[in-house]
Amino acid sequence: MFEAVKRDGIARIGILSLGCEPTGKTGQTDCDRHEEHGQTGQTGQTTRYQTPIALDVDKLFPDISDERHRFSSVPLFASEKFTARYMPEYDGAVFKTPNSENAAESGSMLVIANWQTVLDNPRYYTDAVIKITDATPSDTCRYAPASALPSNVCTLICSGFDLFDYRAVDLKSVQNIFCTHDGELPAEEAFGKGLCCCSGCKKGDLKEHNRNMLDNEIETVKYFIRTGHVRELLERRCRNTAAQVSIMRLFDEAYVFSEKRAPAVRPTRLYANTGESMKRPEVKRFVNRVIERFVPSRTDVAVLIPCSAKKPYSQSQSHVKFQSAIQNRAHEIIITSPLGIVPRELERIYPAGHYDVPVTGYWDGEERAFITDAIARYFEKNHYEKVFVHLDGDSLGIAEAALKRAGIDYEVTATERLTSAESLKKLQDALKGYRKVSPDIIGGTVSYQFGATRDSFDSSKLRLKGKFLREKVLKGNQQLFSVDSETGYFRPTFDGWELIESGYRVYIDNFVPQGDILAPGVSDCDRDIREGDEVLVVGESALATGRAMMGADEMLSSKRGVAVRVRKVKKL
């Protein structure tokens, strides 16, 4: 049995249990439930392994390597007819290729034989991962035989693989190669030279060193999954080979596949330290939602201003000065990399309020093209009567190019330094005569988060009350939403859900939840749901509010794991 317990995009931490069977609709087993962090151990006849992990698979699953399968080697991209005839069968696992029709059941183990043959072919690699992942339940353990090295296992784990063996590193040992997470080195130049002080190096055992390095790197990746920063680790590790960089980029290009598995929010910062950060699914999603969902507070006049190092921007000294000059007489739109544009109403929402980017004053060609496109798309959809540009340097050129593309007239209000008294006075004078309209944080957040339109959600009678990032949304004395201080998202009460006409619903059978909703209890859900989204659980006997712990696809294809972390239940 396999169950994923922690996810970060496609990568996940799970529990592989051998010797126990699931019982009941909730997916509970006849052994004790695993610990929060899935410590390995034994309960009765059950052995549990926390994945991702490398094991001596021949000893663990001896039947896989016995005489029935020892000489079977089905090419990874063999035709359906070929695989149907020659694919080996094994009671404890399902051998799988992209073109094989043999189906895997929820909780089973997939053996992706010959995976090492595509490690240097990024296009085949990503095509195979997408095809196999889409064709199998989410809660299947994926085993990549003879593939894992310390220098590539991060890429493998971020591709959704859970189980590895020591064949690849053992082969490197036979070839007298010293393995590290930064690549492979000749042993005569590296072994015993102080590069490592593991138990294998102390004993002069190259095989033990290479196995230690693989185990250590897997543990490192698991740590970054737990902390929500595995993407940042991948952006470093993939530099070991050109093929791994291509694999990461190809997954980013496969936006539909990757976005479904990327969390809606994280309680951590997003570190945009490389050019690939702009291609991250959550960055693309933010830009798309700002353009396609977000309802601006006003469309008569807008002002473009720069970002700040401090987040949310309004807490920075520069933005205090900008806001003092603007005095709510224009819709404030912040220009930034890697997010493109951030309306003032959304400055607190992940990732806008939770990212760091290197600041040098120089934006490369790819950044310029990405941000230009985001600005132009926004103004092509939202037509303002007048736009003021309070920017300088590269950001000014980017904004001008985007506004010209969108056919928008604009006026530049900056002189020298953007925060100088002269520049701020020019901005303040340019906005004289325009009406004051406070940013509609409530309406903007609900439109972005839940896709509510101006016609379906009226925020005019609602108000925010409380300390910054700990507010509540009230209608009179009735609470409709609270603010999640870690992510900026709204958490609806049952009264709040009544104002959101559709979307973000999880449907369950006729029972009253006594705790969290497990995946077997989900009968259907809205396809827009992503991990971290606030959802309304709807059943014949009860309603519940909570946070999705899986994306929609995983909820519907899994038979194990927590689907919704329930906050409150209301019996009907």
CATH code for position 102: 3.20.20.105
**pLDDT, tens digit, 9 for 90 and up, residues 154-183:** 999 999 999 999 999 999 999 999 999 999
* Rounded Cα gap, residues 220 and 100, in angstroms: 33
CATH code for position 333: 3.40.50.10630
**Can you give 182-237 as a three-state secondary structure string?**
CEEEEHHHHCCCCCCCCHHHHHCCHHHHHHHHHHHHHHHHHHHHHHCCHHHHHHHH
Query: And the tokens for 209?
Result: 């060193």
Query: And the tokens for 555?
Result: 């909820």
CATH code for position 517: 2.30.130.10
The C-alpha angle 229, 231, 232, rounded to 5 degrees, equals 70
* Rounded Cα gap, residues 484 and 490, in angstroms: 6
pLDDT value, residue 67: 57
Whether residue 4 contacts residue 14, with contact meaning beta carbons closer than 8 Å, is answered with yes
Whether residue 474 contacts residue 499, with contact meaning beta carbons closer than 8 Å, is answered with no
- Does a structural domain hold residue 11? no
- Does a structural domain hold residue 213? yes
- By DSSP bridging, strand 562-571 and strand 517-518 are antiparallel
- Does a structural domain hold residue 456? no
- Eight-class DSSP state of 9: T
Query: And the tokens for 74?
Result: 């089905």
Question: Among 208, 227, 246, where does a domain finish?
Answer: 227
Q: Are residues 411 and 556 in the same domain?
A: no
**pLDDT, tens digit, 9 for 90 and up, residues 98-149:** 888 777 888 888 989 889 999 999 999 999 999 999 999 999 999 999 999 9
* Rounded Cα gap, residues 437 and 329, in angstroms: 6
Q: Are residues 163 and 299 in the same domain?
A: no
Q: Are residues 305 and 179 in the same domain?
A: no
3-state secondary structure of 134: helix
More confident residue, 332 or 363: 332
Question: Among 430, 452, 478, where does a domain finish?
Answer: 430
- Does a structural domain hold residue 43? no
- Does a structural domain hold residue 101? yes
Q: Are residues 209 and 69 in the same domain?
A: yes
Q: Are residues 205 and 301 in the same domain?
A: no
pLDDT value, residue 22: 41
- Does a structural domain hold residue 22? no
Q: Does the pLDDT of residue 150 top 80, yes or no?
A: yes
- Does a structural domain hold residue 259? no
As a whole number, mean pLDDT of residues 395-422 equals 93
* Rounded Cα gap, residues 166 and 146, in angstroms: 7
- Eight-class DSSP state of 173: H
Q: Does the pLDDT of residue 347 top 90, yes or no?
A: yes
Number of domains in the chain: 3
Domain limits at 65?
50-227
pLDDT value, residue 31: 38
Query: How many C-beta atoms lie closer than 10 Å to residue 229's C-beta?
Result: 17
As a whole number, mean pLDDT of residues 74-91 equals 80
Q: 406: part of which helix (H) or strand (E)?
A: helix 393-406
Q: Are residues 423 and 505 in the same domain?
A: no
242: CB partners within 8 A, 6+ apart: none
Residues in the chain, total: 572
Query: And the tokens for 194?
Result: 């102080």
Question: Among 227, 248, 276, where does a domain finish?
Answer: 227
Q: Does the pLDDT of residue 33 top 70, yes or no?
A: no
Q: Does the pLDDT of residue 303 top 60, yes or no?
A: yes
Whether residue 165 contacts residue 54, with contact meaning beta carbons closer than 8 Å, is answered with yes
Q: 456: part of which helix (H) or strand (E)?
A: none
Q: Does the pLDDT of residue 65 top 80, yes or no?
A: no
Query: And the tokens for 317?
Result: 């000294």
Whether residue 181 contacts residue 220, with contact meaning beta carbons closer than 8 Å, is answered with yes
- Does a structural domain hold residue 8? no
- To which residue do tokens 């390095």 refer? 213
Q: Are residues 86 and 220 in the same domain?
A: yes
Q: Are residues 508 and 426 in the same domain?
A: no
Mean pLDDT taken over the chain: 90
Reported as a pLDDT band with limits 50, 70 and 90, residue 84 is confident
* Rounded Cα gap, residues 397 and 394, in angstroms: 5
